[in-house]
Chain A
């Protein structure tokens, strides 16, 4: 008896695992899913996803915003991006985040740059999650 976890991104299926438990970053806070959970849908915010595999290991993945579809036997996670902790290059993420922060600091506050600023802020949030997940135990 176990739970099937599938993560789908627009660029293809990121991974699918069999797990005992999954913890997901819902917009209202983290929530855990065990098997035989009631069917439900929830939006997700960027954060760390925790997968307790059936063999006792725990895996982490950084996901961007999206939503999760939970049924008794399956959890389907639809997100824009998903990286497992071992796929993340923490140093590189630090570097890119520093660049984005610098660019954001240099940008003037005005309506014209708002779109650009939002984009940069979004990038920073994404990279922060990746750094967080990437530096956890593997």
Chain B
């Protein structure tokens, strides 16, 4: 049976854990807000980019760009697995690793090789141990996602795709659905498919029917536009990953804080019982002592 001081020590230790978890929760909440703002401010650029791409694409029907090229036989796929640098975020990183393994197995069954670009230390740790020969690049997320970083990743992916080293590029990241839900999302990146402009975006930008003059030519514009669109896509994935990480950590820490509360309550009860038991046995001793004297 644990003595009074043992229980007391455990309570103190859990209390200090609780302080840490609740502080981490608050830090994550603040970071989440900032990450969401970053997603918001990236939106206008991405929306305009898409609209312009659409505009150029429609002006130049059947437009060809090396990044649009669909390969007939796919022998190598580059999987861009995006995770976080730090743990303590629930299943955030493990679900990415799990999903990546599932995809690799699926592709392997179809006779397709996989290469990895790993973003974030957590997934990098795993892949370095389990698939060291398949990693083509790994890098940490860093304290803040910036566009330059996304650009570097995207440029390498594009050059590998263009010179035929890989036939497909797929992004795998946690989709930020809400503060409590993040699920792995698979986004085909290359060959690039320009999506239809959503109706709301179109309304917002007020695209009128008159076509644009394109200087010097639509091919040159497309040549600079398509790589940018790919970069934006990578940037968006990094931003979503960042928001998702903080959201996941926030809910993980909230649960942890709740657990410490429960534990403290239980231990306090145990402590009080033990104290009461000690008092009772002391009383019994005194009473028996007094009776013996009579």
Contacts and interface: CB of A to CB of B under 8 A. Distances in A.
A43 B210 CA distance: 20
Query: In terms of DSSP, what is the predominant structure of the interface of chain B?
Result: helix
Contacts of A39: 210-213
Nearest to B222: A43
B41 A12 contact: yes
Given A11-B147, A115-B156, A40 B214 contact: yes
Nearest to A28: B216
A53 interface: no
Interface in A49-85: 65-67, 69, 76, 78, 80-81
Interface residues of B, number: 35
A11 to B, nearest CB: 6
A42 interface: yes
Interface string B220-248: 11001100100110010000000000000
A10 B42 contact: yes
B41 A119 contact: no
Contacts of B224: 27, 43, 65-67
Contacts of A13: 41, 44
A125 interface: no
A119 B152 contact: yes
Interface string A23-48: 00011100100000011111100000
A10 B235 contact: yes
Interface residues of A, number: 26
Query: In terms of DSSP, what is the predominant structure of the interface of chain A?
Result: strand
A8 interface: yes
Contacts of B231: 10
A36 B151 CA distance: 35
A41 B44 contact: no
A9 B210 contact: no
A12 B42 contact: yes
B187 interface: no
Interface stretch (B27-35, B47-55, B78-86): B47-55
Contacts of A78: 45, 48-49, 52, 228
A76 B55 contact: no
Contact of B42 (A11, A28, A42, A65): A11
Interface of A: 8-13, 26-28, 31, 38-43, 65-67, 69, 76, 78, 80-81, 115, 119
The 10 A-B pairs of least Cβ separation, nearest first, read A12-B41, A40-B213, A43-B224, A42-B215, A10-B147, A41-B212, A10-B45, A8-B45, A39-B212, A41-B214
Interface of B: 38, 41-42, 44-46, 48-49, 52, 55-56, 146-148, 150-152, 155-156, 159, 210-216, 220-221, 224-225, 228, 231-232, 235
